Amino acid sequence: MADKDAGTPRVFLYRHGETEWTKNGRYTGITELSLTEQGEKQVLASGKMLVGRGKLIDPSKLAHVFVSPRNRAKQTFEIAFSEEDRTVLSGKGKVTETTKLAEWDYGIYEGLKTKDIRLLRKEHGLDQEKPWDIWRDGCEGGETAQQVTERLDSLIDTIHGLQAGNMNGENPCDVVLFAHGHLLRAFVKRWLKYPMEFPLSMMLEPGAIGVLSYQHHNISEPAVLVGVGFPLEG
């Protein structure tokens, strides 16, 4: 069957590599942590396989790279792309650090694990009927689901502006997002126009790359690119 969607712009979701808190399931929002040695290896492995000239994420085909302001995301970008490619992209104004990609602000839940958060909320008289769900309930002292929705929708509008006139590959128009586990999964929900509380189960490993695109070369038909074909090098 012919590939009817060939040339359609893509959005690559690049999660930062492992940190010490990633390993033990602690919620990491504003806390600045560096990647572990294993985290650096995860990003380097993904980058070597998928980032570079003639590879899936080809710097010459990028319209923009958006990076979370957290150090672990910036470190991931620096490892994934060569210094030469980073310099060229930055020189062309194609790299933006943005708080719209910062991890969910967990408020008083920062550094806690899910079980501890649920116990704390019970102590606060919350969740008497249903257990805490961040997608529905947000975080005490941090962000609500609606606040995260608003900043992601704003970023999605920006991305649509970059890609809308290039739905058949007229110009290099892929986008890469360097960010975090919860935030990138939230981005997928909003990309697909689902509310945050929509029960869409997703997994994204540290250092892993997800892919979004559009059906039928149509900006109004955002989609998850479930299967990805890999270009031949050379």
Asked whether residue 106 is marked as a ligand-binding residue, the answer is yes
72 labelled ligand-binding = yes
Handedness of CA 128, 134, 135, 136 (dihedral sign): positive
**Residue 153 labeled ligand binder:** no
Distance CA 191, CA 182 (A): 14
- Is the separation of the CB atoms in 166 and 173 below 8 Å? yes
Annotated binding residue at 103? yes
Q: Which residues are designated catalytic? A: 16, 103
**What pairing do the DSSP bridges indicate for beta strands 222-224 and 174-179?**
unpaired
Instruction: Return d(Cα 9, Cα 211) in angstroms, integer.
Output: 10
Q: How far apart are alpha carbons 65 and 87 in whole angstroms?
A: 12
28 is in an annotated binding site: yes
SS3 content of the chain, % helix, strand, coil (to 5): 40, 15, 45
CB 60 within 8 A of CB 33: no
Query: Could you write out the DSSP letters of every residue in 153-196?
Result: HHHHHHHHHHHGGGTTSSS--EEEEEE-HHHHHHHHHHHTT--T
Tell whether 32 is in a known binding site: no
Contact by Cβ (8 Å): 155, 66: yes
With beta carbons less than 8 A apart as the criterion, state whether 213 and 225 touch: yes
Residues comprising the binding site?
A: 28-29, 72, 103-106
Residues comprising the binding site for substrate?
A: 28-29, 72, 103-106
